[in-house]
Amino acid sequence: SLSEEIRLRTRMRGTLNWAPPRFQIVFSIQPPQEVVALQHYLCAGCGTEVEPYSVSDFSKQLLDSVWYQPLFDLTCVGKTLYGRVKELDRFRLQEQLLEMRKLLKACRLSKVLAELEQLPAHLMEQPLLFSMEDLLKAKKGQLVAPARALLHSAMEHVKNCEQLCLARGFICEFCREKDIIFPFQRDICKRCVCKACFHKHCFVEKKCPKCTRIRSR
């Protein structure tokens, strides 16, 4: 019959009673089973030891295949990692790097952009997205140092690039001081929803001059 022919031609994984494990990453953390600990990690039925051991070759192959892939979005999984891992908390400077990259891409005089491109592409495109390699570097304290050095180099370029970069900065419309501010200066700069930038200590909510001009049009 046709169904029998299809069954014979279809490749089957394993047998009717068993199928080999699939390559998959499980992001949800299962709660620990206290009852197993109380049994000293022995099967209650037969007494077989079930204590955790090193991963299998299959699991090792899976980890190797996804090692450099940005699979871990901390907005969805591991939301508490920033509070528990200091290296990740310090890596919030990534947001500054993303703003800096936008500015440098428009500057034909910048040589720092090529240095920024040496970082993994996903770190320069989307915040809070990490690979296994990134998380291991965070554990070893090796994630922040190179990013901080690049941020310093980029800031030095912007300060001295009078022709292009400084021309793209902002003058605070509240105080009218002559110093130029940028979105990546998170410690002193406040950015309104209209994308205009002001000094943090000057900014007054709902009184943005640019928003006022937009509403009056």
- Over residues 63-93, the pLDDT tens digits come to 899 999 999 988 887 777 877 888 888 998 9
**What mean pLDDT comes out for the span 29-36?**
63
One domain, residues 149 and 182: no
Number of structural domains, the chain? 2
Token reading at 68: 């450099």
Angle CA 116–121–127, to nearest 5? 95
pLDDT of residue 110: 87
- The verdict on 104 and 188 lying in the same domain is no
Whether residue 98 is found in the same domain as residue 180: no
Residues 156 and 179 in one domain: no
Q: How far apart are the C-alpha atoms of 56 and 58, rounded to whole Å?
A: 5
Examine the domain organization and report whether 139 and 151 are in the same domain. Answer: yes
Q: What share of the chain is helix, strand, coil (3-state, %, to 5)?
A: 40, 5, 50
Rounded CA gap, 22 and 16, in Å? 16
The angle at the Cα of 82, spanning 76 to 88, to the nearest 5 degrees, equals 110
Mean pLDDT rounded to a whole number for the chain: 84
Its pTM stands at: 0.68
**62 and 103 together in one domain:** yes
Paired tokens of 120? 């993994």
Question: Does residue 9 lie in a domain region?
Answer: no
